[in-house]
Chains A and B, each alone.
Chain A
Amino acid sequence: MQYQWIDHDADMLLEVAADSCERLFECAGTALLEALWGVPPSSESQFTSEIRLQCEDKVDLLVAWLNELLFLSETGNSRPRSIERFRLAGNNLHAFLICETKGAGSEPVRDIKAATYHDLAVEEVGGEWRARIVFDV
């Protein structure tokens, strides 16, 4: 499971590769949370939050998953900091996030508006799952 941020003049481009689709989604989520927060959570005031998503296809689901993390990072009183458990069954996603109470830790280090559909494909190539995601910043 690996990811890297690629140079993009206007926005942020994430390349992710993993040995399964489930790991690919988890890795993309981890990459996004690290870009938002910088470092893993250190606060003691942590708790777990559960999310479930369902979409018509993998591309929709990946965009919805990443945008869900962005929404949770901006609103309410909890701030998702890392992924505790992750399950993907077909086009159904079930994740447990480790969260901090708003104000308990640091604020996001950058503003990311959304994960986009631009050029997005979730594909298996030679046994490896890959995706490239452009984020609007």
Chain B
Amino acid sequence: MKLKQIDQFRWRLEQERGMKVPGLIFADKAGLAKIRSDRSLEQVANVAHLPGIVGRSLAMPDIHWGYGFPIGGVAAMDPDHGVISPGGVGYDINCGVRLAVGNLSRFDLAERAEDLADTLYHRIPCGVGRGGDFRLNDREMVELLVKGAGWVVGRGYGTTEDLDRTEERGCLRAADPDALSERAIERGRTQLGTLGSGNHFLEAGYVEEIYDQDAAERFGLKKDAVTVMIHCGSRGLGHQVCTDSLRSMQKRRGVDQIKIPDRQLACVPIRSTAGERYLAAMAAAANFAWANRQYLLHLARNVFSSLFPGTSLRLVYDVSHNIAKMEEHKVKGRMQTVCVHRKGATRAFPAGHPDVCEEYRSVGQPVLIPGDMRTGSYVLVGTDRAMDETFGSTCHGAGRAKSRSAAKREISIEELEAGMRREGVLCRARSRKLLVEEAPEAYKNVDSVVGVVHGAGISRRVARLKPLVVIKG
């Protein structure tokens, strides 16, 4: 792999045989050394082989080795000549993050932090196999998959302002429930309003530092204000959509004659029945994920209201990390529609963009970057440079630095818990063993990752958040 340094934060991956475009990696020198230690650069090159890719095969600084696309990978395809690949979205379709801010300060919360941790843990369904408050019938499933977060709001679990402050207003119109298998529907029936496990979490914290006063004010963020961050996705329903789609695309390999370097990059032309079917199924799964995060926020609001009467939690924004969407971008100097795959990457649209809700349009779209469960997280804002260079995309988190088994070998639960206590973070988890796999030491330093996207100008720091209470499956 030939890499050429462009500047402090950009590296060009030279176009080699079979690649249709070069790669562009956002990283500092230390980050690049880590990136080189796994196979993620090879995956950036693999993505560049896909038919119809335009611009460059992009890698954000939290990139790491995934399957098909790297995690932290972005690619845009020409809809008339390009392909759609479920491997460019992932199994957890529309895994994403939402952030709410409360009208109380961290000092109000301090005395009842243990109560808050216990009540959130009791009330938020989390962990493997844990069902939620719903068992959706066929009609409800269809409505939910079509309407997304709006279905949940329509039942009284949120407000229209919540929808305004959600990417795509929490609903992709291309959704078609008929494109989902019975298995996908079955997996989703009891999973609305569930957190799941792994790296998913619900976190109460506070605004530790503000970097951009103007944008922070517009987003409703004040120093020391209590925040709630929710990270989860489309659960088993989304996993099944990806599994079903990959399997059907494998069968079409002989039909479409598309040469790919990794079978996980299985793809079909966007303008084909199979392509449209995947986009319709993926959109339905994305809508399920937005509905899921909307209902989880409703549960968190109830917990806060019960413990801190008079409290409100205002949604700041909700972003998707794993998705493919038709968007307007400049390609070779001309605006055109492209299908942007973001796998472990966040949309970062700038001020003035019509897809940014009116309330935030003068400053740009909030970008939510969770770090690890002890260090902190960031709120950024989208920039024009992201539109010019990354199809309006930026990083999505800290990115893993250690395997799960390495984390278990090298970190003890006692050390982890002591470290959390020292930092004043309370944690409730279904499994202490799995908690170690998610230890802060298993992740890259979020400050460094954010430093790269800020330094490169593809998003800008607005505020830093610090966790106080972490709920994990």
Residues of A within 8 A of B (CB): 5, 7-12, 56, 59-60, 63-64, 67, 70-71, 74-76, 107-111, 113-114, 116-120, 134, 136-137
Contact = CB atoms under 8 A, between A and B. Distances in A.
A76 B404 CA distance: 29
B129 A118 contact: no
A136 B404 contact: no
Contacts of B36: none
B269 to A, nearest CB: 19
B187 A119 contact: no
Given A7-B403, A10-B400, A116-B264, A64 B67 contact: no
B236 A75 contact: yes
B127 interface: yes
Chain A binding surface SS class:
loop
14 contacts: A9-B403, A67-B243, A71-B183, A75-B187, A108-B129, A109-B434, A110-B128, A110-B431, A111-B197, A114-B242, A117-B68, A118-B264, A136-B91, A136-B239
Contact of B64 (A7, A9, A64, A113): A9
A136 B90 contact: yes
Contact of A113 (B38, B239, B264): B239
Interface residues of B, number: 45
B263 A59 contact: yes
Report which residue of B198, B242, B404 has the largest number of chain A beta carbons within 10 angstroms of its beta carbon.
Answer: B404
Contact of B65 (A10, A63, A74): A10
A8 B91 CA distance: 17
Contacts, number: 100
Nearest to B262: A118
B90 A109 contact: no
A118 B243 contact: no
Interface stretch (B9-17, B160-168, B246-254, B374-382): B246-254
A71 B240 contact: yes
Contact of A118 (B68, B239, B406): B68
Given A116-B68, A117-B67, 12 more contacts: A9-B38, A10-B400, A56-B250, A107-B129, A110-B128, A111-B198, A111-B473, A113-B91, A113-B92, A114-B239, A116-B264, A136-B91
A63 B240 CA distance: 13
B71 interface: yes
B249 to A, nearest CB: 10
A10 B64 contact: yes
A12 B66 CA distance: 10
Interface in B428-462: 431, 433-434
B266 interface: yes
CB-based closest 10 A-B pairs? A118-B67, A117-B263, A7-B403, A118-B264, A116-B67, A113-B91, A111-B197, A117-B264, A108-B128, A113-B239
Nearest to B442: A9
B128 A111 contact: yes
A117 B250 contact: yes
A119 B38 CA distance: 14
B196 interface: yes
Of A10, A60, A107, the most chain B CB neighbours within 10 A belong to A10
A109 B431 contact: yes
A109 B129 CA distance: 9
B355 interface: no
B223 interface: no
Given A10-B66, A59-B263, A111 B196 contact: yes
A57 to B, nearest CB: 9
B414 to A, nearest CB: 20
B405 interface: yes
B151 to A, nearest CB: 22
Contacts of B239: 70, 113-114, 136
A9 B400 contact: yes
A10 B92 CA distance: 14
Nearest to A63: B247
Contact of A109 (B92, B128, B263): B128
A123 to B, nearest CB: 14
A4 B239 CA distance: 25
Contacts of B242: 114
Interface string B68-83: 1001000000000000
B417 interface: no
A134 B251 CA distance: 20
A137 B198 contact: yes
Given A8-B65, A10-B71, A74 B250 contact: no
B236 A74 contact: yes
Contacts of B142: none
Contacts of B247: 60, 63-64
Contacts of A67: 243
B350 to A, nearest CB: 30
